[in-house]
């Protein structure tokens, strides 16, 4: 039986689903000779560490109880009451993580799993990489920080997995890495990597006003609490930057041309989200409607996409053929089209749900299983 | 620098492309700290083995000269003249392979790469698995032999890769393995896994007679020399069996319901391929045309697909919604739709060129790079 000890940072939505997936896949993994041993779990305030670090992981009942507590809005520090663990609070928790990484990194290997959405993990991630740990990320921030941080994290590329940073669990990163390692040159990537903006663009295509579509998307739970977080394009730009860097482009966020669907005058520092939803948005309807009609008159549709081609890395609205994979996209699915030497006339297309805690956590778990050959 | 010693069986189309990809990716792999060392190359008659087995691989110039010779229809035995190798002829070659596998399997590891299309490799594959070697296959035959052979080959599942057995280089097997290892249950797979039959079905959808479409496909080089090899569905059934077995179904070829596009009375043992093309095919036009029209009257289209769902594993014509990924398929692309817990309403879709020596060899090379963590 091969054992992978894990420390999980972030046990809210994605992290909590990951723990549940680990528990429910226990017998499957066991039949494949694999045991995932969760030895530490952290949130922004605390870290709980299993008592017998070298030999044990948390019980499944403990992990499920933790998910229940976090779901109820409780803090990890409550878990001390359950026994079998020690609780460390910030800032002692950082030191404890490094102590564990240094201890297990050499002896048994350790996978450090980042399911937060925070930049706060970057410092510790770079340190655990130095200590020989593997890193699995759903968190986009560490890979979209400076080029120096990116290269540091990728010092040992085989030890880093981050499928769920782009398109949730969709096999985007793994497929792209396969193409790259086979020497097939990637000429162009174009993708719709935001379920929210995919939904918005396919709805306005049907003639609905942007304001109405965004409000509907918000009430369906498709958007962030402030929809401008989606409409500004920053989340898509982060994914584009990760893809571009995987392709070898040494660029930063400020090299990416980002088209926001709202102007600066409607930004969060100028008007409240309520004002934006009730007034600001209405002023944007006419322009989008005209663009949709102009595209339609060319037999095309509008999609909010990222485009990576040569030195170009852009995020914004593009007019695309109606009968392409992107043009046919409806609803909140993500789509990626990859053009290479092998996929030159017709692209390689990967499509499916690109958001949600369940599928994001599934992508993280597949990454963890995939690094097993690095463990003794 | 990590070194993977390789023995390649089959150096015609796919194998020859693989050797060229290995040579042209040399500097890329080197920059990633990886060296692919080809120590042996076999065809159906001979095996050439590098002189200094433990320390050297064939020169790139030797590999390219070998590709040139094979392309010109020459036999491997010619290569003895080039020096740096020994040539073994059948049946001594089998013994030599096992000797190398036993020697390198323990010391440095060895990847055994099967780019043949023959059942003849099964015996030796099972033996090299026992000797601790990794196996990479483009060859479907070993995985579609008996369940006993399949399980024997998969004794150490991490050491076996076979992306290019289904959909050429399309990331089908790797994506499916990711889904499985994340514990996401696969409820249904439906796919168009033959470029030839994909082309045929989308052309008859446009109202063209089957006979005309098949003749056009043959003259475009889309079909086997005898188009019945494609129209019979056996190649698709092999791919379906591999997918079903990956999902854990313990079934054999005879459990798969296969619909042939021509009746037994037009089989190769009854009429010549010329007679089939000039006379037999014409008799099939009306039936297909009626089925196309019936489907169209339901707003559907016909596709030749494999369907795996519960205990069901079928290969044949299905009536499908025009606006599904499969229904929209045009030309010779392959498409796979996978329905799981995470991809329940909308499937995960993987689409692109699913045939050709270049992309098939690229898939094999990505597999080889992917097993590097198993080597010391």
Q: DSSP letter string over B261-302?
A: SS-GGGSTTTS-HHHHHHTGGGGGHHHHHHHHHHHHHTTEEE
Hey, are the CB atoms on A349 and B347 less than 8 Å from each other?
no
- Which residues in chain B have their CB less than 8 angstroms from residue A32's CB? 157, 181
Stated length of chain B: 376
Nearest residue to B148 (alpha-carbon basis) of B235, B234, B251: B251
Q: Taking phi first (over 0 means left), then psi (-120 to 50 degrees means alpha), and beta for anything else, what does residue B264 get?
A: alpha
Of B24, B349, B359, the CB nearest to A342: B359
User: Is A322 part of the annotated catalytic residue set?
Assistant: no
Q: Shortest Cα distance from A278 to chain B (angstroms)?
A: 32
Report pLDDT digits (tens) over A301-317.
999 999 999 999 999 99
Quick count: other Cβ atoms within 10 Å of Cβ B45?
12
Tell me which of B70, B141, B218, B239 is the catalytic residue: B239
Q: Shortest Cα distance from B134 to chain A (angstroms)?
A: 13
Which sequence spans correspond to the domains of chain B? 2-169+358-374, 181-353
Tell me the whole-structure pTM to 2 decimals.
0.96
Distances (CA, A) of A270 to A134, A223, A225, A266, A273: 43, 20, 17, 6, 10
- Greater confidence, B36 or A328? B36
Number of cross-chain residue pairs from A and B with Cβ atoms under 8 Å apart = 145
Distances (CA, A) of B161 to B11, B101, B157, B177: 19, 17, 8, 11
Q: What is the mean pLDDT of chain A?
A: 95
Report pLDDT digits (tens) over B186-230.
999 999 999 999 999 999 999 999 999 999 999 888 888 899 999
Nearest residue to B363 (alpha-carbon basis) of A368, A178, A364, A153: A178
Give residue A274's pLDDT: 93
- Chain A interface test: which of B22, B176, B178, B345 (most A C-beta within 10 Å): B178
Residues 6 or more apart whose CB falls under 8 angstroms from that of B74 comprise none
Fold of A2-168+358-374: Rossmann fold (3.40.50)
Helix/strand/coil for A10: coil
Nearest residue to A185 (alpha-carbon basis) of A307, A315, A309, A305: A309
Q: Give the lowest-confidence range in A72-81, A269-278, B146-155, B194-203.
A: A72-81
Does pLDDT of B313 surpass 90? Answer: yes
Name beta bridge partners: A334.
Answer: A352
- B203 annotated binding-site participant: no
Give residue B223's pLDDT: 86
- Which residues in chain B have their CB less than 8 angstroms from residue A358's CB? 341-342
Contact criterion met (CB below 8 Å) for A216 and A189: no
How many helices, marked H, and strands, marked E, lie in chain A? 15, 13
The verdict on domain A181-353 having CATH code 3.30.360.10 is: yes
Kind and range of the H or E run holding A351: strand A348-353
User: In what side-by-side order are the strands of the sheet with B257-258?
Assistant: A257-258, A312-321, A300-309, A186-192, A333-340, A348-353, B348-353, B333-340, B186-192, B300-309, B312-321, B257-258
Q: Give the lowest-confidence range in A293-297, B71-75, B134-138, B208-212.
A: B71-75
Report pLDDT digits (tens) over A39-66.
999 998 899 999 999 999 999 999 999 9
- Which residues in chain A have their CB less than 8 angstroms from residue B356's CB? 342
Give residue B323's pLDDT: 85
What is the CA A236 to chain-centroid distance, rounded?
Answer: 10
Which ipTM score applies to this complex? 0.95
Q: List the beta strands (DSSP E) in B138-267.
A: 160-161, 186-192, 257-258
Does pLDDT of A83 surpass 80? Answer: no
Hey, are the CB atoms on B373 and A24 less than 8 Å from each other?
no
Does pLDDT of B274 surpass 80? Answer: yes
Does pLDDT of B63 surpass 80? Answer: yes
Does pLDDT of A14 surpass 80? Answer: yes
Q: Average pLDDT of A327-333?
A: 89
- Which residues in chain A have their CB less than 8 angstroms from residue B188's CB? none
Report pLDDT digits (tens) over A133-166.
999 999 999 999 999 999 999 999 999 999 999 9
Q: How confident is the model at residue A201 (pLDDT cuts 50, 70, 90)?
A: very high
Q: What percent of chain B has pLDDT over 90?
A: 88
Of B158, B174, B346, the CB nearest to A352: B346
Q: Average pLDDT of A80-93?
A: 86
Of A343, A356, A366, the CB nearest to B178: A366
- Quote the CATH superfamily of domain B2-169+358-374: NAD(P)-binding Rossmann-like Domain (3.40.50.720)
Q: Tokens at residue B259, please?
A: 């619909």
Q: Shortest Cα distance from B202 to chain A (angstroms)?
A: 15
Q: Average pLDDT of B130-135?
A: 96
d(CA B12, CA B357): 10
């Amino acid at each position: 039986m091969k054992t992978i000890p894990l420390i999980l940072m972030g046990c809210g939505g994605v992290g909590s689903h990951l723990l549940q997936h680990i528990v429910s896949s226990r017998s499957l993994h066991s039949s494949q000779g694999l045991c995932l041993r969760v030895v530490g779990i952290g949130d922004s305030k605390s870290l709980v560490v299993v008592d017998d670090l070298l030999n044990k992981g948390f019980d499944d009942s403990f992990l499920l109880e933790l998910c229940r507590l976090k779901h109820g809005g409780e803090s990890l520090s409550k878990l001390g009451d359950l026994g079998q663990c020690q609780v460390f609070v910030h800032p002692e928790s950082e030191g404890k993580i490094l102590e564990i990484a240094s201890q297990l990194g050499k002896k048994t290997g350790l996978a450090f799993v980042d399911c937060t959405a925070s930049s706060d993990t970057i410092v510790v991630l770079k340190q655990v990489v130095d200590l020989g740990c593997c890193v699995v990320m759903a968190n986009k921030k560490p890979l979209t920080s400076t080029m120096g941080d990116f290269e540091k994290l990728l010092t040992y590329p085989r030890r880093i997995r981050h499928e769920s940073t782009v398109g949730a669990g969709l096999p985007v990163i793994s497929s792209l890495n396969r193409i790259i390692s086979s020497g097939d040159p990637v000429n162009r990537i174009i993708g719709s990597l935001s379920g929210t903006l995919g939904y918005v663009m396919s709805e306005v295509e049907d003639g609905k006003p942007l304001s109405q579509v965004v409000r509907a998307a918000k009430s369906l739970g498709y958007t962030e609490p402030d929809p401008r977080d989606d409409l500004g394009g920053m989340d898509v730009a982060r994914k584009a930057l990760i893809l571009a860097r995987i392709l070898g482009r040494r660029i930063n966020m400020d090299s990416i041309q980002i088209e926001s669907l709202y102007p600066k005058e409607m930004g969060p520092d100028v008007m409240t989200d309520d004002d934006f939803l009730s007034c600001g948005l209405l002023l944007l309807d006419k322009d989008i409607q005209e663009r949709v009609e102009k595209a339609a008159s060319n037999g095309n549709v509008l999609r909010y996409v990222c485009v990576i081609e040569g030195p170009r890395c852009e995020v914004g609205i593009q007019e695309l053929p109606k009968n392409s994979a992107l043009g046919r996209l409806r609803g909140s699915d993500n789509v990626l089209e990859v053009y290479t030497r092998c996929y030159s006339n017709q692209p390689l297309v990967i499509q499916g749900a690109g958001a949600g805690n369940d599928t994001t956590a599934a992508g993280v778990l597949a990454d963890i299983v995939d690094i097993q050959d690095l463990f003794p």
